[in-house]
Amino acid sequence: MSAADVPAGDTALGIAAAVRSGTRSAVEVVEEHLTAIAARDGELNAFNLVTADQARQAALAIDERVAAGEDPGPLAGVPVALKDNLCTRGVPTTCSSRILEGWRPPYDATVVERLVAAGAVVVGKTNLDEFAMGSSTENSAFGPTRNPHDPSRVPGGSSGGSAAAVAAGFAPVSLGSDTGGSIRQPAALCGVVGVKPTYGAVSRYGLVAFASSLDQVGPFARTVADAAAVLEVIGGHDPRDSTSIPRPAPSLVAELEAGVQGLRVGLVTELCEGEGIEPGVAARVDDAAAALEAAGATVDKVSVPAAVHGLSAYYLIAPAEASSNLARYDGVRYGLRVDAPTTGEMYDRTRTEGFGAEVKRRIMLGTYALSAGYYEAFYGKAQKVRTLIIRDFEAAYEQFDVLLSPTSPTTAFPLGAKTADPLAMYMNDVCTVPSSLAGHPAISVPFGTDESGLPVGVQVMAPALGEPVMFRVAAALEAAAPGRG
């Protein structure tokens, strides 16, 4: 079943409409999803924690509000799963790392506050690559998450638990974070919709930081309309986030029916024809371009030359910022503490036992890139490349309204296939990193399968704050997706 074939009653918008009208109870909806989690999450490991009792209480409160004639909000009764790097008051938030063992945040992330205020019901915290560092959700202290389409394969990462939860029907929508592709790539591998908003369009307050100039919170959903509805709820200015754009969330759901007639779509040569793009993935992107052309868009090739250097720049900038952000995990203030005779040894032992191999690798790489004598050669040069990427995208958007590419160069690969080769793992981000470095929005839309029947995602990119036109194109792709009907 394609994402576009989700029965209306099972979509987030369908559930909310039924709960608000009183034709379905939020308690019944939540119980259905908790039953689905209990039946299959032992196999998939999408959740680090299922908050069943809190979810039932929240659902009951929503039903009481409906009975009293109140409107609980646009996401009334909709179960939502949260990536376990989003702070939740009084609920363990682990980042899938041992180093945050036992930590319960004293506050909610802004996006969590906004979801709850809109009537959504949090059903649990989802697994991720430790501190969001990875592309397969295998770098987790809680063990790997498996792909619902084929449990012998990865769901992608780092938000693999959130993607798998939606793909498996554990929740109609979920939240993830995207630093270099951590929403879009798992969305592609799991056959769901995944959105990275414009940098600053969604508050980062309460998101545990990985790379602060790149991190963004965004939704996973089984339909484009559901993703749009969630982004409308969580977006908009937040004075608690200094990088938050001072403007309200855009209207997106209303844009979905506008179509693509007259829009200009650019196929990014460097991302569509680059090394490592599987033939089955490339074929679906070609099909997507043809579908948009048939729907009235103009499609042509476009070059974004600096995009070929995106991965190299990203894997200097992101680890550099991570090495700074992760310095706070010292065994003193919160989380894991491994005692030792001296403070220095305590730091050393706590971090040695608390961090996994990939996190240690990136901390060391980032610390080296920022060190005296190497700063300008590595970090400084990477920032100059970032500027070139931004300029090349600006030139492309002068000719085109949106850009198109694969989301991931491959479909879901077997568990363990790339864990011994970090560079092969990093290549999974080759198509998603450029728009992250530019701070631009991008969405992955499921568009058919490869020859093995595994989902393929097509990426639609837009200029900063271009979410409305991006969602129009995404809706057109969803409507034309192979297997619909």
Summarize pLDDT for 10-50 with one digit per residue, the tens.
999 999 999 999 999 999 999 999 999 999 999 999 999 99
More confident residue, 334 or 265: 265
At 400, give phi and psi (nearest 5°): -130, 150
Q: pLDDT value at position 483?
A: 78
The sign of the CA dihedral 284, 290, 296, 297 is positive
The CATH code of the domain that includes 254 is 3.90.1300.10
- Confirm whether 253 is domain-assigned: yes
Residues 6+ apart with CB under 8 A from 454: 149, 150, 153, 189, 411, 412
Residue of 127, 111, 329, 49 whose CA lies nearest to 235:
111
Q: How confident is the model at residue 456 (pLDDT cuts 50, 70, 90)?
A: very high
Q: pLDDT value at position 484?
A: 61
| Across 43-52, 116-125, 351-360, 437-446, least confident range | 351-360
- Confirm whether 101 is domain-assigned: yes
Please report which helix (H) or strand (E) contains residue 457, including its range: strand 455-461
- Confirm whether 199 is domain-assigned: yes
Asked if the model's pLDDT at residue 1 lies above 50, the reply is no
- Both tokens of residue 132? 């969001």
How remote is the C-alpha of 459 from its chain's centroid? 13
Instruction: Indicate which residues carry an active-site annotation.
Output: 83, 158, 182
Q: What average pLDDT does the segment 409-415 reach? A: 98
- Confirm whether 239 is domain-assigned: yes
Q: pLDDT value at position 218?
A: 98
Query: Total structural domains in the chain?
Result: 1
Q: CA 254, CA 217: separation in Å to the nearest integer?
A: 22
Average of per-residue pLDDT values in the chain: 96
- Confirm whether 433 is domain-assigned: yes
- Both tokens of residue 286? 């070609």
- Quote the domain boundaries for residue 433: 3-271+273-303+392-480
Q: pLDDT value at position 141?
A: 97
How remote is the C-alpha of 250 from its chain's centroid? 19
Q: pLDDT value at position 4?
A: 52
State the number of CA atoms in the 13 A half-sphere of 254 facing the CB: 4
- Confirm whether 386 is domain-assigned: no
- Confirm whether 374 is domain-assigned: no
- Confirm whether 56 is domain-assigned: yes
Q: pLDDT value at position 94?
A: 97
Q: CA 423, CA 321: separation in Å to the nearest integer?
A: 19
Q: What average pLDDT does the segment 210-228 reach? A: 97
Q: How confident is the model at residue 97 (pLDDT cuts 50, 70, 90)?
A: very high
Asked if the model's pLDDT at residue 224 lies above 60, the reply is yes
Q: CA 482, CA 194: separation in Å to the nearest integer?
A: 18
DSSP state of 164: H
Instruction: Give the bridge partners for 300, in sequence order.
Output: 266
Asked if the model's pLDDT at residue 121 lies above 50, the reply is yes
Classify burial at 144, counting beta carbons within 10 Å of its beta carbon; exposed 0-12, middle 13-18, buried 19 or more.
Answer: buried
Q: pLDDT value at position 333?
A: 86
Please report which helix (H) or strand (E) contains residue 125, including its range: strand 121-126
Residue indicated by tokens 């969305």: 187
The pLDDT tens digits for 293-315 are 999 999 999 999 999 999 999 99
What is the crossing angle of helices 467-480 and 224-234, to 10°? Answer: 160
The pLDDT tens digits for 191-202 are 999 999 999 999
Q: pLDDT value at position 129?
A: 98
Listing DSSP states for 278-307 in one string gives -HHHHHHHHHHHHHHHHTT-EEEEE--GGG
